[in-house]
Structure 1
Amino acid sequence: MIELQWGIVGLGGIAHSFAENFDQTTSKLTACASRTLEKAEEFARQYNLPKAYGSYDELLADDDISIIYIAVPNRQHHQHIIQALEAGKHVLCEKAITMTLAELQSAIELAEQKQLILAEAMTIFNMPLYHELHALMDSGRLGDLKMIQAPFGSYKDPDPTNRFFNPELAGGALLDIGTYAVSFARWFLSEQPEVIASTMIPFSTGVDEQSVTILRNEKNELATVSLTFQAKMPKKGIVAFENGYLTIDEYPRADKAELFFNDGTTELIESGFSGNAMNYEIENMVKMIQGELPNKSLFFTKDVIDILDQMQQKWQRTQ
């Protein structure tokens, strides 16, 4: 079997985490690209990569590279996804995978046409714990799902020039931390919800700084998503069923959950290891390319981007 080789597009902070934690067992990280050769060569030296390119086009022209990991700012995701797919590369793109559902749909159509794998680097869809919890739900032990709470608060230095608040770089809480909260909710909901209500308070630059959203689907399952960039909140997800409820601390990369039944009994569910979060994404991407795993995560990703679209449409009508 041909060994799959990865190349990185965009060399910011998340790319450093990706390269630093990359497990070379199932595939190899061999190349990186930046807009300047000097920066690419520095990155390659730091992580012992044999190839460095001073343009993204040069990386895409490398026939040895099968998979592109995209780590550029959000607004540039769609452009680079399309270019990589056109070049015949499989794509793992950082969250949020695209700015809009229309962008994602065009990328999915191209990936299907080219018979390539397109996936989002969303930890929640790859952590072993979440697959175990889904199996628990399917077993019927918990009864019907009733309600989900997904808060995420992160304090960011209120500097209008940094990427978190810069509209030119698609700043704002929703496309950064909000993707985790909405992905958490969608993973447990039995079907796609509608945004019933959503209110947002903007930062001085106009991007969303905090918001509260209510989701409901046709089975009357409810979820609340609370986001802020100017206050810390514990990343503690709660999933409530007829027979008990789950609490999941640090839910973006969780490896354990507590189950509380109505009769007072409890269980601790542990699966995976939070420190391997990125490698679960890498391992699953390789399995999907090799045909060992269906690309189910893209189904959830598409639903999440649809929810983000609905939220932003609500805000545009009320601002």
Structure 2
Amino acid sequence: MIRWGIIAPGTIANAFAKEINNTENGVLTAVFGRNEEKAKAFAEKYSIEKYYSDIDKFLEDKDIDAVYIATPHNYHMEYAKKCIEAKKSVLCEKPFSYNYKTSKEVLNLAKENNVFIMEALWTLFLPTVNKAKKWIQEGKIGKIKLITASFGFESEENINSRLYNPSLAGGALLDVGIYPILFSNYIKDSFPKEIKAVGNFTGTKVDETDIINLKYEDGTLASLGCSISSELDNIAVIYGEKGKIVIPKFWSAKESYLYLGDEVEKYVDSYKGEGYKYQIEEVNKCLKNRVLESDVASHNITLKLAEIMDEVRRQIGLIYPFE
């Protein structure tokens, strides 16, 4: 049994806590929060045995095998390093860190200490996404010509929100833009050779909406969008020579559709939860097999994502005050 601890009992941590009891070989044993009352309330809500407001005591707990880092983006590196130094395996929320340099620094530290670490790229483990990939591998739609994907929602501009605060590495790209980029690369099994990006900014000086165009070595194009101010289509479409695949809410997909002329094949994931359990099971499996990285959400994928997002940020002019 893999015994888990959570750092930061916020919104995404609640989703994680709801899912872990549905996994094989995983159990939630502790939570850390800087606010003791919030940590205690979270522990009581999910029947977690222990809660901490002292990070050192949390990391000294010998009953914790793996830690899920659910903090705002700018704290990922700090807590990942602390976990690695404490010899705790790590599942770190995306984005792994706020740029390539800091991501590489954390991964190098993990390798030096022989500690497992993985970015929480849960989309890669969803049955619906992998069904779409299987259709492609079977040649159902022929050669891929174009991928479109968007992730956007409406939100109120508020400097105190992690979405809009530049000191918390806010903005559309790091929060939701990472998903269409990840999806496109995963479907292509490669990384783009050309990147073209434009973006609009909020009054708080983070990116509000971005359009990102990618071109792969074989000529496949991808047109990707992200926004924290507008509800986008929130659909991924993979266009091939013989048909197309449509995946609504692709980052958390429950359904995928294969269109071949007038024929439609539908795939539905029967699991009733949100789907975070699949990435937790991947970490559990890796730890049981004593490997230091996932071969699906690999360190290379994390670094390539960071590299692409760095280039997008360079092109749109997004720089955080702590960089």
TM-score range, shorter chain: over 0.9
1:206 equivalent to 2:197? Answer no
Question: How far off is 1:140 after superposition?
Answer: 2.5
How far apart are the structure 2 equivalents of 1:206 and 1:195? Answer: 26
How far apart are the structure 1 equivalents of 2:158 and 2:85? Answer: 37
The higher-RCO structure (CA 8 Å, 6+ apart) is 2
1:288 equivalent to 2:286? Answer yes
Question: How far off is 1:22 after superposition?
Answer: 2.3
SS class of match (2:276): helix
1:153 equivalent to 2:152? Answer yes
- Change in Cα spacing, 1:96 to 1:106, as seen in structure 2 (3 Å) is same
SS class of match (1:68): strand
Deviations 1:192-220 (A, max 9, x none): 10343111110001100011111011111
How far apart are the structure 1 equivalents of 2:194 and 2:313? Answer: 10
How far apart are the structure 1 equivalents of 2:194 and 2:91? Answer: 28
Cross-structure match for 1:279: 277
Query: Which region of structure 1 is more displaced relative to structure 2, 34-43 or 205-214?
Result: 34-43
How far apart are the structure 2 equivalents of 1:247 and 1:48? Answer: 39
Deviations 1:1-58 (A, max 9, x none): xx21101111111112221332164111000011133322222112111111111121
Q: Determine if contact 1:127/1:272 at 8 Å carries over to the other structure.
A: no
Give the TM-score, by structure 2 length.
0.92
Cross-structure match for 2:297: 297
Question: How far off is 1:292 after superposition?
Answer: 8.5
Unpaired stretches in structure 1, ≥5 consecutive residues: none
How far apart are the structure 1 equivalents of 2:111 and 2:254? Answer: 33
- Change in Cα spacing, 1:145 to 1:292, as seen in structure 2 (3 Å) is farther
Residue type of the alignment partner of 2:111: E
Unpaired stretches in structure 2, ≥5 consecutive residues: 319-323
How many pairs align?
315
RMSD: 2.0
SS class of match (1:152): strand
Q: Determine if contact 2:195/2:312 at 8 Å carries over to the other structure.
A: no
- Change in Cα spacing, 1:166 to 1:174, as seen in structure 2 (3 Å) is same
Residue type of the alignment partner of 2:167: E
Q: Determine if contact 1:236/1:247 at 8 Å carries over to the other structure.
A: yes
Which of residues 19, 22, 37 in structure 2 aligns to 1:21?
Answer: 19
How far apart are the structure 2 equivalents of 1:151 and 1:68? Answer: 30
Q: How does 1:226-305 map to 2 (within 5 A)?
A: 226-261=225-260, 263-271=261-269, 273=271, 275-291=273-289, 294-298=294-298, 299-305=300-306
- Change in Cα spacing, 1:314 to 1:274, as seen in structure 2 (3 Å) is farther
SS class of match (1:204): coil
Question: How far off is 1:152 after superposition?
Answer: 1.5
Q: How does 1:46-85 map to 2 (within 5 A)?
A: 46-85=45-84
Deviating 4+ runs (over 6 angstroms): none
Cross-structure match for 2:165: 166
Question: How far off is 1:60 after superposition?
Answer: 0.9
1:6 equivalent to 2:7? Answer no
Cross-structure match for 1:219: 218
Percent sequence identity over matched residues?
28
Cross-structure match for 2:321: none
